[in-house]
Amino acid sequence: MDMKEMLRRDVIRMMGLGAGSFMLMPGAAMAQAKTTFRMDEQNSIHFLAGTFISNYLTKPIEWESKKFATSGQARVAALTRGAIDGIMTSWTYLVQIAYNQLPGTCLAGMAGGGSRLLVQPNSNIKSYADLKGKKVGVVEFSFQDILFIYAAKAKGLDPFKDINRTNLGSPAGVVAAMSTGQVDACAIWEPYASILMIDKGAKMISNLGEDSFGISNGGLYVHNDFIKNHPDLTQDVVSALVKATDFVGHNRDKWVQRAMQVTGQSEAVCKMAVENCTPSINIPINTIRHISKAMTELGIQDRDVTDTLPKYIDYTFLEKATGKTKEQLGYNT
C-alpha cells in the first residue's frame, strides 16, 4: 500500500470518528471561530492610528485590511455595497453618507490636523491677505480645499474672486506644480506638505484647521449591518481604536516608523508630518455641521443635512470605551 492510499484511509477513518469527537468538545471548536472585520486601508498619516487597532482587539475578530482606492468616494462606495465593514476618512464623507442616506454610522473620531497652507521658498507671502491675486494650487473640493476656502473667507478674502484657486487634480499634481513654480501657494495634506517643505523648502503660513473649522479631520464609519449583527465586536473595535489613538499620541516614534512603512518617505518627512497631526477620538458635531453647511454653499450637495447628521453618529460605543459622556466627546444640541 503506497503512502497516498494510507493517507486516504486515515482521512476516511477520522471522518467516521470525527463527529463523535467534536460532539464531546464543542467549546474547542467554537473557540476557533472568528468574525471577520474588513477595514479599508487608509495610508494618510493623520489616520495611521487605525493601523494599530488590531493590536488591541480582545474579541474573536479576524482583522482584514482591504485596499480599494485612495479617495473617500471609493471608500464610501465600498462600504455602501458591503464590500468592507469599516472606513476611515474625512468628515466631508460623513456628510455625504447622511446626504445620500447610506448604511454607515460614525462611531469615533480619528484624525486631527494633517493639513497645511504652503508658499514658495522665496515668497513674500506672509499671510492670507498676501494671497490676493495669487495662484493657489488645490485638489478641488477636497477637505483641505474646503478648509482653505473658509479660512480665506474668515480672513476677509473672496476665495473665488480674490484668489486664483487652481485645481491640480491630485496631491501629486500639487507637488509637481509647487516644485516647478506653476503656483504661488497650495493647500495640501500630509505627507505631501512635508515633502514640499523638506525637499523643496516650501514655507507654511497656516495649518488651515485653526483658521476654519478646527483641527478635527475625520473618523471611523462602520456599516450598519455589522453594528446590528455584532454589537459586542463593534464595541471591541471602538475600544481598540481608543487605545490605538492613545498609543500613537504617546509613542510618536512608532507613528513615524509606521508612516515610513506605508508611505515610503524619509524619516525627516514623516517626522515633520507626524508633528503636524493631532489624533482625536472625539466626534465634534459642530465642526461637522459647519462642514455640511459649507458643502451646500459650495454646491457640492443641493441641500443641507445638518439636522439629520445625528442619525448617522452613535456616541454610545465611544462612551462605553472611555467612560465619558457624549457631551464630553463632542456632542451638543
pTM, two decimal places: 0.87
Domain range summary for the chain, segments of one domain joined by +:
1-33, 39-113+215-322, 117-211
In degrees, to the nearest 5, what angle opens at C-alpha 169 toward C-alphas 164 and 173? 90
Predicted confidence at residue 10, as pLDDT, reads 37
CA trace torsion 166, 171, 174, 178 (10° rounding): 150
DSSP notation for 128-155: GGGGTT-EEEE-TTSHHHHHHHHHHHHT
Give me the residues paired with residue 112 across strands.
Answer: 216
CATH: 3.40.50.1980, 3.20.20.330, 3.40.190.10, 3.40.50.300. Which one for 117-211? 3.40.190.10
Cα–Cα distance between 220 and 227 in angstroms, integer?
A: 13
Predicted confidence at residue 41, as pLDDT, reads 86
Cα–Cα distance between 122 and 119 in angstroms, integer?
A: 8
Q: Which fold has domain 39-113+215-322?
A: D-Maltodextrin-Binding Protein; domain 2 (3.40.190)
User: Do 39-113+215-322 and 117-211 come out as alike in CATH topology?
Assistant: yes
Instruction: Encode pLDDT of 57-89 as tens digits.
Output: 999 999 999 886 667 788 899 999 999 999 999
Predicted confidence at residue 298, as pLDDT, reads 95
Residue 326 phi, psi dihedral angles, 5° rounding: -65, -30
Low-confidence ranges of the chain (pLDDT < 70): 1-32, 68-70
Residue reference for cell 464595541: 235
Cα–Cα distance between 235 and 250 in angstroms, integer?
A: 23
Predicted confidence at residue 307, as pLDDT, reads 94
Predicted confidence at residue 73, as pLDDT, reads 80
User: Do 278 and 270 form a contact (C-beta atoms < 8 A)?
Assistant: no
Predicted confidence at residue 70, as pLDDT, reads 62
